Structure 1
Amino acid sequence: MYNIGMITIGFPEKEASTYIAEKGKEAFEVFAVDVDQLSNELENKDAIVIFTDNKDSVVTEICQSIIEIKRQSAAYVWVLSKNRDKRKRTIYLQLGADGNIDTDCSAKEIELIVLNALKRRETIHKPIEGKRVVTEEQAGSKEAEKQLFEMNDNNLAVRVGEKEISLTRCEYRLFRLLQSRAGEAFTYEEIYQSIWQQSYNNQKYRIANVIFRIREKLEQHAVNPNYLKTVRSVGYMICE
């Protein structure tokens, strides 16, 4: 039996429950997941479905949830929303969501989307784990992790030990900004105004998207992505 986590963001939990077909409960068990306790509630979850009204006021919370789930778990993530905003749906996919589902889907359709994906993963022998499995090569040596980042303005790259990681211009500017005050948090507003040089109107999702891409590149080069730390309700920082 599979364990499915259900997150509701701007979506009544009672209404969300109607999308879980009774028949599907023979194959999976559904658990309500508290967004504020993600670290403790992702263990042994095979998939997470985020139910949302997709209003502008909750987009940042959805983005942060997707990022945290993908960082801490190998679980599938789907966003089921009432609003078909193409821009938001694209952002969710860029952050690592496995798909978007509309509320006009039947409970049976949703059940099959989830179960077919989970069964396919089983077939190709990639078992789910509560926490992301990190190989010895990905983890890197402790000695390498202790080395400081070196910024290369000419190459738009950051060097850690012998590894040089190429970034886009936007990623590099954000990384350099955080590195300029390592160990101290930058607020969302400080980051946004510095990188995009525009007035900040709570566009946390744009910052979160860039942070996610940087973390991905660090992880691909066997560098601990947790160097970039989320400071809840404040912004981001690079750990010393």
Structure 2
Amino acid sequence: MSNEKQRILIIDDEKEIRDLINIYLKGEGFETILAEDGEQALEILKNTRVDLMILDIMMPKIDGIEVCMKVREERNTPIIMLSAKAEDMDKILGLTTGADDYVTKPFNPLELVARVKSQLRRYTSLNNAGMTVNKEESISGKDVLIVDDLKINIENHQVFIGDMEKKLTPTEFEILALLAQNRGKVFSIQNIYESVWNEEFMESDNTVMVHIRKIREKLEANPRKPQYIKTVWGVGYKIDK
């Protein structure tokens, strides 16, 4: 990503939260832009390159869920959701609208910075891999994994069903690639989380299940009877050999 600083858009209606996140990210060398609500954030995004968004759910005018949905219509920019609510349904709602990660307030700023760096590594890898690759190369390249009519290009982070490209977020792609590169092996939810997020799994965390559901919705003709990612009840998930 050249020598440009990576740019983080911080969206939260609480000034103290915005300022706290801003201090820590600038201390790590990031460029930051601050927005106090979803409406302002969407205006900024019209004309500004943003490498990652930290997005509060509960905001006036346009809330974080709606902002996330609008952003996902056009771009795969990593989104980390913030919320004062710890309930599972709040988290699931944020993730199903396309967020890559979720942090509950109050949070440790150093943990948030670590998650920002983790998401940016995926995003940078995705962009650098896909810059000069055309569709034909994507389907026939040497780093393509094939599962029936599903084609996964590991090098440029593209996924096709037949000749139709399917857009996955960086996190969704990493989960799919992990399973496809280890066909026949069953991965527990904990295995997947610790492999993809590179942090310790919390027993009550259902982030992986939500992402699996989103992948199935994008790839499967019938998500309730998945052809690709199979559930091994009581154990985890796999892609058959």
TM-score, normalised on structure 1? 0.45
TM-score, normalised on structure 2? 0.45
Higher relative CO (CA 8 A, sep ≥ 6), structure 1 or 2?
Answer: 1
Larger Cα-atom Rg: 1
